[in-house]
Amino acid sequence: MSVLSVKNVKKIYQAKSAVPSAALNGISFEVEKGEFVGIMGPSGAGKSTLLNVIATIDTPSSGRIVIGGQDICGIQEPALSDFRRNKLGFVFQDYNLLDTLTLRENIALPLILAKKKAPEIERMVSQVAQQLSIETMLKKYPCEVSGGQRQRASAARAIVNQPELLMADEPTGALDSKSARDLMECLQHLNEAQKATILLVTHDAFAASFCQRILFIKDGRLYRKISKEGTRKAFYDAIVAAFSELGGDDRELR
């Protein structure tokens, strides 16, 4: 069963006194339940736009996006907020944790918004904190922990209400390689153990190598797909090769 279905989605930006430019130019793909899919592409390929329209933060100019059987293009506020809250989870490059809240409170946020009972909130927060091994630092504020721990807290917040789809936008972008590996292993674990469906947008071939398959996009179109066969190392090499072929600057790959 497909969790996410993107059909012929276009996003055209009409700037004043300029030729309209298409950030997304009729892109289509599907993500099945329990899949761990990566999206890669050079700068300006439309990765962020794609993620924004799937995340319901932006609306496509045309095409259809269905998440968990529901067409998201027709939903209006405040149902949209509910949808975002209940069906989607996000991990951002810059964490987007509230510095006014402790990690525990940050993770509890979606549950509080969903008006869950206090004991249930406590239980669920402890559970995801354990899965992401940050249970010892729940009382700390974001500024008191490392970037990797912050990002894991952010991931914990994204999955605490068991969303249909977890979206991660360059989650390793601000992390050192050790923290990046830890985080990706956490996500992989979530995918394997909890059957979480994950959509990862990244520049980082190393991070991408944790996925099961990679969609390469260029100029707003789907350019190529590759799937993991064999070891992660082999997949990593395949990704690097594909990325160079795509015309992506090697220096963009990290």
Partner 1 sequence: MMPSLQLFPSLGVTTVSFAEIAVKNVQKRLGSYLAYFLSTAFSVVVFHLFCTMYYNPAFAVYRFGSGKMNTLFQGAAVAVLLFATIFVLYSGSFFLRGRKKEIAIYSLLGMAKRAIALLLFCETFVIGMAAVVFGIAIGSITAQYFSSGLMRVMAVGTSVTYTVSPMAAVVTTAAFAVLFIISGIRAYQVIYRYRLIDLLSATHQSEGIPKYSVVGAAAAIVFVAAGYLAACAMNLNQAGMKLLLPAFLVVVLVSLGTYLLFRNAVPMATARLKRKTSFYYQTSTFISTSQIAFRLKANAKMLTLSALLCALSITMVSASYSLYRGLEQSADFYAPFSYLVKNISEEQHTRISQTVSDIGEVRITAEDTIPLIHTQLQNDTYGVQNGVEEDATLGAPVDGYILSDSIYQKIIADTQAAYGKGSSLRTDYSGKLADQECYFLDGNMTNRYSAGLIGQELTFRVGNSTGTLQVSGISLHKYLGLLDLYQCPSIVVSDTVYQQYMLAAGSENIDTFYGFMFDDEMASAHTTAALDGFIPARFSDSTLPSNLSYIGMYQANFALYGSYVFIGLFLGILFLLSMGSVIYYKMIMEAQEESLRYAILRKVGMKKQEMHACVAKQLGVVFGTPLAVGLLHTIFALATYNRMMELMGQEMPTFANALMVAGLSVLIYGVFYLISVKKYCAIVWKKTK
The DSSP line for 79-122 is HHHHHHHHHEEEE-TT----TTS-HHHHHHHHHHHTT--HHHHH
Task: Decide: is 77 part of the binding site for partner 1 (CB under 8 A).
Answer: yes
Among 12, 63, 122, 253, binds partner 1 (CB under 8 A): 122
**SS3 at position 9:** strand
> CB of 213: closest distance to partner 1 in angstroms?
27
Asked whether the beta carbons of 220 and 190 are under 8 A apart, the reply is: no
> CB of 111: closest distance to partner 1 in angstroms?
8
Among 29, 36, 90, 235, binds partner 1 (CB under 8 A): 90
Closer to partner 1 by CB, 73 or 253: give it.
73
User: What span, in angstroms and rounded, lies between the C-alpha atoms of 137 and 153?
Assistant: 10
Bridge partners of residue 226, in order along the sequence: 214
> CB of 53: closest distance to partner 1 in angstroms?
14
Task: Decide: is 76 part of the binding site for partner 1 (CB under 8 A).
Answer: no
Identify which range of 35-43, 59-67, 85-93, 193-201 contacts partner 1 by CB under 8 A.
85-93
Closer to partner 1 by CB, 121 or 211: give it.
121
Among 2, 141, 173, 224, binds partner 1 (CB under 8 A): 141
Task: Decide: is 224 part of the binding site for partner 1 (CB under 8 A).
Answer: no
> 130: how many CB neighbours lie within 10 A of its CB?
11
> CB of 84: closest distance to partner 1 in angstroms?
4
User: What span, in angstroms and rounded, lies between the C-alpha atoms of 9 and 29?
Assistant: 10
Site for partner 1 in 8-67 (CB under 8 A): 57
> Strand 88-91's sheet: what is its strand order?
88-91, 165-169, 198-201, 36-40, 213-218, 221-227
Bridge partners of residue 2, in order along the sequence: 32
- Binding residues for partner 1, rule: CB under 8 A, are 57, 77-78, 81-82, 84-86, 88, 90, 92, 96-101, 105, 108-113, 115-118, 121-122, 141-144, 157
